[in-house]
Structure 1
Amino acid sequence: MDIHQFQEEVIQYSKEIGIDKIGFASADVFGELKARLKQQQEFGYQSGFEKGSVEERTEPDRLLPEAQSIISIALAYPSKMSDAPKSRKGDRRGIFCRASWGQDYHTVLRDRLNKLGEFLQAHYPEVTIKSMVDTGELADRAVAERAGIGFSGKNCATITPEFGSYVYLGEIVTNIPFIPDEPVDDSCGDCNICVDACPTDALIQGGQLNANRCIAFLTQTKDFLPDEFRSKIGNRLYGCDTCQTVCPKNRKKDFHRHEEFEPDPEIVKPKLTPLLSISNREFKEKFSPIAGSWRGKKPIQRNAILALAHYKDETSIQELIRLMKEDPRPVIRGTAAWGLGKIGKPECYQEIEEAMMHETDENVLYEMKKGLEFQKI
């Protein structure tokens, strides 16, 4: 088989099935990434969501022993929403990050990768493949960088010349010896806007992220949010777009190429107070199609409470009182108590004091005390 010709056929087919960009990389060890990951481990900068060992994440042949190359794909997603509802006093709304707009991208990219895999199998009978999207062992961004999809920006996102960093990534490891593409030159230059704009200083320096301080990670945790981040979260329910929206490479980048990624404004920018009483069934029916629901409703509800406290939304007081007194989950009870203190009306403090007489969980009592401390400010 003429690999050059077959590679061109793969590229052409990728366009037919809705892949916006495709690149090819060698299956060599990602040596530089391996050193960086080990350093991240030493510094305690990893989130804990990473899959696999450092070796599995950087040595493709551990995942597919006969690996000879990797196909990297990218699909562009929108950065702007038409007819976005406004967040107004008495009717506040939260926001899901752009990477969670529309249908869960894992599902969409797996569909494209499956079609591409079927094409490979139909034309190269002895092919072996392993596909991954985000949750696989290999680092999608490192593969995309090597395959010429884009360069790794100081905000740790893959920045493509065509679509900026608003792209989803996936890859196929294969035994087909495709010809590697040339990497894209890094063009951040002296720009440091994303590092300076990071709300929590999670970007230690260009290209180095402390995931434990990143709002995108923090919004997905299920425990009490550390105090230092509560005033930083704003109305974010899932994820954070700051380091992307400030990036000059993303200026005027807004692509609506895939219907699956078009956002439903009422889902990705929902009213906050109704989220506090939503049932498991209602949550699943409304939010399960989007990527931001993968951790369940508890983190979303906790973040909604923090957002209401951020706005000092007095219309939510009665609902927060109900949660503080009745919700079976300590994180929700305690966060509601803290939120009431932040809102700061006299009735809030009275209700916290009353609830303290019946509360038995030490963590919740601690949050109640912190809520009462707002009286002194």
Structure 2
Amino acid sequence: MPTLKEQVITASKAIGIDKIGFTSAAPFDYLEASLKEQKSNDHSTGFEHKVLEERLYPNLIFDQPQSIIAIALAYPTKITNKPARTGAKRGSFARASWGIDYHDILRDKMDQLIKTIEELANSDTKITFKPMVDTGELSDVAVAQRAGLGFIGLNGLLVTPEFGSYVYLGEIITNIPFEPDTPMANQCGSCTRCVDYCPPQALMGDGRLNAKRCLSYQTQTKGFMPEEFRPKIRSVIYGCDICQQVCPFNKGKDFHFHPDMEPDPESVMPELQPMLTISNKQFKLQFGHLAGAWRGKKPLQRNAIIALANVKDRTAIPKLLELIDTDVRPVIRGTAAWAIAQLVRDVTPEILTFLETAAKRESEPEAQVEFDNALQILKKRYSER
């Protein structure tokens, strides 16, 4: 007779879970010093769970925990149907935001798994579960590593032998005691490709991250993106894949197991200019299903403006001027002013007058700085004609 653990593993495959592992509910207190140092160095994003102890001690967030079940779902890395060629410049979303929001997909898989375990356990005593994805208290990567799903690479991501790091992770705390699996040790060896190729040098070389410098974080902020990072995002308007793309463990990895994860080309590689004036209704229709839409429309519009400047799309200049003139959001106006300074080569008195008038109207200090800097660049270019 198979053990409950063996039955759960078999059932997980039928549910469509690509990898499953088990670990104890012992504390993750070995992470404490590193997490405290990260916070004290201002290397955290602010998106993390606020109570440190609850990130380390499962017994603080669950009554009498015995085990944690970790799951992984592999996601695709290549688009099978490219968007139509229209000649328009396009942006892109990082692969982890392709398809339907992975939080929803993972929660559905874990709900199915919980129901199956309840049926298989057929226990007289009450069995309890707490599923978590990404926004839970525990570190998904730490749980998955301890449960034997893979190792933590120098980029801080979980790397599985089968699927590389292109996996979504979730975990379920339960009061059922399962035999734990063996954790996997780091296998990066002397390879430092992810560290070397990270444009803003956000990776610290030991598996830790200065998250404030991470381009993925920068694309998710709501205010002005610091100018240092603007050229580095290139035409990506959400997330960053670079440390995964250069990883040898990811070479050739592309799995299409889950229809819900298949990307809609027009959503994950959208034309940039229409994004500048997209309505709330159209934004929700085109992007609402993506994990990358969680911060709303403004950050993605800001990123689209930056991307247009990075790809040198001078046909966007009229729309950018329109934003400066009519948009009610300082971040959009100021970022558009920066983009104008990057794009306009033939500086005319009319452009300078337009920006000077807009700058006098500007009441938000950070936006005012953007206008002042843009005017300085354009006036210098005009004087050198």
| TM-score, reference length from structure 1 | 0.96
Is contact 2:7–2:120 with CA below 8 Å preserved after alignment? no
Could you tell me which of 369, 372, 375 is aligned with 1:372? 375
Matched, 1:300 2:303: no
Deviates more, 1:343-352 or 1:112-121: 343-352
Aligned residues between the structures: 374
- In the alignment, residue 122 of structure 1 is paired with which amino acid? E
- In the alignment, residue 119 of structure 2 is paired with which amino acid? A
1:213-268 deviation per Cα after TM superposition (whole angstroms, max 9, x unaligned): 00111100000011111111111111000000000000000000000100011100
Cα RMSD, aligned residues only: 1.5
**Cα distance in 2 between the residues matched to 1:215 and 1:40:** 17
Q: Which residue of 2 aligns with 1:342?
A: 342
Is contact 1:153–1:159 with CA below 8 Å preserved after alignment? yes
Runs of 5+ in structure 2 lacking a partner?
none
Matched, 1:285 2:261: no
Could you tell me which of 99, 105, 109 is aligned with 1:108? 105
- In the alignment, residue 34 of structure 1 is paired with which amino acid? E
- In the alignment, residue 239 of structure 1 is paired with which amino acid? G
Offset of 1:87 from its aligned partner? Answer: 8.1
**Cα distance in 2 between the residues matched to 1:291 and 1:282:** 16
SS in 1 for 2:220: coil
Deviates more, 1:303-312 or 1:237-246: 303-312
Offset of 1:100 from its aligned partner? Answer: 0.2
Could you tell me which of 39, 42, 61 is aligned with 1:63? 61
SS in 2 for 1:155: coil
Q: Which residue of 1 aligns with 2:366?
A: 363
Is contact 1:340–1:349 with CA below 8 Å preserved after alignment? no
Q: Which residue of 1 aligns with 2:234?
A: 234
- In the alignment, residue 121 of structure 1 is paired with which amino acid? E
Matched, 1:148 2:144: no
**Cα distance in 2 between the residues matched to 1:301 and 1:53:** 32
Q: Which residue of 2 aligns with 1:122?
A: 119
Offset of 1:350 from its aligned partner? Answer: 4.3
Q: Percent identity?
A: 52
Deviates more, 1:201-210 or 1:266-275: 201-210
- In the alignment, residue 377 of structure 2 is paired with which amino acid? F
Change (3 A) 1:242 1:86: farther
Offset of 1:272 from its aligned partner? Answer: 0.2
Is contact 1:195–1:206 with CA below 8 Å preserved after alignment? no
1:193-212 deviation per Cα after TM superposition (whole angstroms, max 9, x unaligned): 00010011111223010000
Is contact 2:152–2:158 with CA below 8 Å preserved after alignment? yes
Could you tell me which of 25, 28, 31 is aligned with 1:30? 28
Could you tell me which of 8, 11, 31 is aligned with 1:10? 8
Is contact 1:344–1:374 with CA below 8 Å preserved after alignment? no
- In the alignment, residue 77 of structure 2 is paired with which amino acid? S
- In the alignment, residue 36 of structure 2 is paired with which amino acid? K
Runs of 5+ in structure 1 lacking a partner?
none
**Cα distance in 1 between the residues matched to 2:360 and 2:127:** 67
Matched, 1:313 2:310: no
Q: Which residue of 2 aligns with 1:211?
A: 211
Is contact 1:46–1:212 with CA below 8 Å preserved after alignment? yes
1:272-318 deviation per Cα after TM superposition (whole angstroms, max 9, x unaligned): 00000101111011111110000000000000000011122111011
Q: Which residue of 2 aligns with 1:183?
A: 183
SS in 2 for 1:19: coil
Q: Which residue of 2 aligns with 1:95?
A: 92
Change (3 A) 1:86 1:311: farther
**Cα distance in 1 between the residues matched to 2:361 and 2:171:** 54
**Cα distance in 2 between the residues matched to 1:306 and 1:349:** 20
| TM-score, reference length from structure 2 | 0.94
**Cα distance in 1 between the residues matched to 2:134 and 2:352:** 44
Deviates more, 1:341-350 or 1:190-199: 341-350
Is contact 2:106–2:170 with CA below 8 Å preserved after alignment? yes
Offset of 1:34 from its aligned partner? Answer: 1.9
1:57-76 deviation per Cα after TM superposition (whole angstroms, max 9, x unaligned): 11111111210110000000
Deviates more, 1:76-85 or 1:105-114: 76-85
1:87-130 deviation per Cα after TM superposition (whole angstroms, max 9, x unaligned): 88x61110100000000000000000001111222233421110
SS in 2 for 1:82: coil
Offset of 1:86 from its aligned partner? Answer: 7.9
Offset of 1:42 from its aligned partner? Answer: 1.4
Is contact 1:334–1:367 with CA below 8 Å preserved after alignment? yes
- In the alignment, residue 62 of structure 1 is paired with which amino acid? L
**Cα distance in 2 between the residues matched to 1:352 and 1:95:** 30
**Cα distance in 2 between the residues matched to 1:136 and 1:275:** 32
Q: Which residue of 1 aligns with 2:329?
A: 329
Structure 1: which 4+ aligned runs deviate by more than 3 Å? 85-88, 347-350
Matched, 1:81 2:84: no
Q: Which residue of 1 aligns with 2:170?
A: 170
- In the alignment, residue 324 of structure 2 is paired with which amino acid? M
**Cα distance in 2 between the residues matched to 1:349 and 1:302:** 22
- In the alignment, residue 217 of structure 2 is paired with which amino acid? F
